[in-house]
DNA sequence: GTCATTTCTAAGCTATTGCTTAGATAAGTA
DNA sequence: TACTTATCTAAGCAATAGCTTAGAAATGAC
């Protein structure tokens, strides 16, 4: 063994995620990362290999972040339709309370980079798969609790809700609060 | 008067739009624009002032583009629910036929830049306003044709459809064809 | 304490960024 | 034909991009 790192990898990765989230991939320079992560370029490259690798790890970190800060209510064992509705309605509130809503890091990246890079595309796909499964589990709970008909096509429903969620992630950056509300109302009325 | 320009402004602007659409704003260099537009940097700057101005003009050009190539069926005088349904179903087909679907330039930009720059944000907002109004007019036609109930809240409906459209623009870059189909099916079933 | 190994600082690398400029070229006016 | 004005080519500007390297500093093993 030898000298220890003077920083926590998870901690500086969290900072990197914030920078990418705020600025986007291309607009984030390694100098800015260096400043915000609090470590210099040598450390960034020796620990995270490249800007792209750091970004992909940031996308994974983001998944962990939203599990705790966005999807926690839906990840409860007994989460049901009511939780789903509350979750979606949070978008309209966010639009009002946060001056400059940053949107979803993964949706932003889909817009900026799309499928340009296969490694990044895989990370995007993994994230959306996780979101879909989370929603699907809630719908499954709802069926079991009798909130939804037993022959409801919950796979179809979860794809639909994922799609609307992607729309809301764009809309919350570009539309008015009332428009967000309308989208959420219409969508939830469609789940029955 | 003096020497004339050796190119059509509208034509090279169309090329610029294509480059931004394919690559995104930050990933598009002036050297690349120079190459694809077929004019050199002096001409770009003397005619379009800056990269940002050129981009904003490209966003406006994109609006004109989609009027002709995407929304033409919805802009017909008698466009109705059937046209709306066909329009939405085109997304799933696009996903299958176009290897690397580029998505919507404006949605992509919302993801990449959001409200970072007020001038660009205004252009995004204008675009989404146009789309909403286009949809709203179709719904109005549908009411008048008796396809929709006279007390349907068509403003709410059009916000909803705009939101789903934004979602599809993301989803078509990141989801599977079947998922797109599910989103479209569920959405259209909700308009009645 | 000595050594091997890793991390640190700080400077520097080449390539590219958005943008500008000097001078040649073209075109309408008189 | 001479003059004015605008557009062209091609080179060049400072600043910054992502990334690397040389040498100093720290740390656990022996």
Return the residue in B22, B27, B114 with the most chain A beta carbons within 10 A, the one to mutate for interface testing: B114
A149: tokens are 């008909």
The pLDDT tens digits of the residues spanning B90-131 come to 877 877 777 778 999 999 999 999 999 999 999 999 999 999
CA B143 to C1' D25, in angstroms, rounded, equals 77
Distance from CA of A78 to the nearest CA of B (A): 25
What average pLDDT does this structure show over B10-36? 97
Q: Which of B108, B99, B117 is nearest to A25 (CA)?
A: B108
User: How many C-beta atoms lie closer than 10 Å to residue A26's C-beta?
Assistant: 16
Nearest 10 degrees: Cα torsion B113, B116, B120, B126: 90
What does the angle CA B42 – CA B45 – CA B49 come to, to the nearest 5 degrees? 165
Q: Is B100 on the interface with A (CB under 8 A)?
A: yes
Residue B17 CA, nucleotide D12 C1', distance (Å): 28
Residue with tokens 């402004």: B9
For residue B3, is pLDDT > 90?
Answer: no
CA angle A63, A69, A72 (to 5 degrees): 90
Rounded CA–C1' distance between B69 and C25, in angstroms = 40
Enclosing H/E stretch for A31? helix A30-37
φ/ψ of residue B79, rounded to 5: -60, 135
For the stretch A62-87, pLDDT in tens is 999 999 999 999 999 999 999 999 99
CATH tag, B7-61: 1.10.10.60
- B108:A114 CB<8 A: yes
Q: Which residues contact B113 (CB under 8 A, 6 or more apart)?
A: A24, B25, B120, B121
Q: Where are the alpha helices (DSSP H) in chain B?
A: 9-23, 30-37, 41-48, 51-69, 81-97, 105-112, 118-144, 154-174, 177-189
Return the higher-pLDDT residue of B192 and B170: B170
What does residue A98 show for φ and ψ, rounded to 5 degrees?
A: -95, 115
Residues of chain A with CATH 1.10.10.60: 7-65
Instruction: Report the alpha-carbon distance of residue A165 to residue A46 in Å, rounded.
Output: 37
B34-80: per-residue pLDDT in tens? 999 999 999 999 999 999 999 999 999 999 999 999 999 999 999 99
Closest protein residue to C18 (Cα–C1'): B30
**Has residue B192 got a pLDDT over 90?**
no
A90-112 per-position pLDDT tens digit: 877 887 777 778 999 999 999 99
pLDDT-above-90 percentage for chain B: 90
Nearest to B156 among A100, A125, A182 (CB): A182
For the range A93-96, what are the long-range contacts, defined as Cβ-Cβ under 8 Å and sequence gap of 24 or more? A94/A172, A95/A172, A95/A175, A95/A176, A95/A177, A95/A180, A96/A177
Residues of chain A with CATH 1.10.357.10: 70-192
Helices (DSSP H) in chain A: which residue ranges? 9-23, 30-37, 41-48, 51-69, 72-75, 81-97, 105-112, 118-144, 154-174, 177-189
Higher-confidence position of B93 and B179: B179
User: Is residue A147 classed as helix, strand or coil in its secondary structure?
Assistant: coil
Å from the B42 CA to the C23 C1'? 14
* Strand, helix or coil for residue A37: helix
Are B155 and B67 in contact by the 8 Å Cβ rule? The answer is: no
Low-confidence ranges of chain A (pLDDT < 70): 1
Helix axis angle, B154-174 relative to B118-144, nearest 10°?
120
In angstroms, the separation between the Cα of residue A169 and the nearest Cα of chain B is 8
Span A70-192 CATH architecture = Orthogonal Bundle (1.10)
Neighbours of B180 (CB within 10 A): 24
Q: Do A162 and B180 touch (CB under 8 A)?
A: no
Identify the pLDDT of residue B183. 97
Protein residues with beta carbon less than 7 Å from any atom of strand D: A 1-4, 28-32, 41-42, 45, 50-52; B 1-7, 39-43, 46-47
Give the A window 144-163 contacts with B, CB below 8 Å. Answer: 155-157, 159-160, 162-163
pLDDT, position A71: 96
Give the pLDDT confidence score for residue A1 in this predicted structure: 64
Domain A7-65 annotated CATH 1.10.10.60: yes
Burial class (CB in 10 A: 0-12, 13-18, 19+), A6: exposed
Q: Closest approach of chain A CAs to the CA of B2, in angstroms?
A: 41
Question: What are the CA-CA distances from residue B3 to residues A86, B6, B21, B42, B47 (Å)?
Answer: 64, 9, 32, 15, 14
pLDDT at B1 over 80: no
Tokens of B21: 């659409």
> What pLDDT was estimated at residue B90?
87
CA distance B131 to B67: 10
Our CA-based measurement puts residue A186 at a distance from the nearest CA of chain B, in whole angstroms, of 7
Cα(A103)–Cα(A138) distance, integer angstroms: 23
């Amino acid at each position: 063994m030898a000298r220890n790192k003077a920083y926590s990898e998870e901690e500086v990765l969290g900072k990197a995620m914030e920078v990418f989230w705020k600025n986007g991939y291309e607009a984030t320079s390694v100098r800015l990362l260096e400043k915000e992560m609090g470590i210099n370029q040598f450390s960034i490259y020796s620990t995270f290999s490249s800007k792209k690798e750091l970004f992909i790890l940031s996308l994974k970190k983001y998944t962990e972040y939203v599990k705790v800060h966005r999807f926690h209510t839906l990840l409860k064992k007994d989460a049901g339709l009511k939780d789903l509705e509350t979750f979606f309605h949070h978008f309209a509130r966010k639009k009002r309370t946060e001056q400059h809503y940053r949107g979803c890091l993964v949706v932003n990246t889909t817009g900026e980079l799309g499928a340009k890079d296969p490694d990044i595309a895989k990370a995007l796909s993994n994230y959306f798969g996780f979101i879909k499964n989370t929603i699907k589990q809630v719908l499954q709970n709802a069926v079991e609790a009798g909130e939804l008909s037993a022959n409801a096509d919950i796979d179809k429903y979860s794809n639909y809700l994922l799609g609307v969620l992607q729309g809301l992630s764009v809309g919350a950056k570009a539309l008015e609060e009332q428009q967000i509300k309308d989208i959420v109302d219409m969508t939830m009325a469609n789940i029955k």
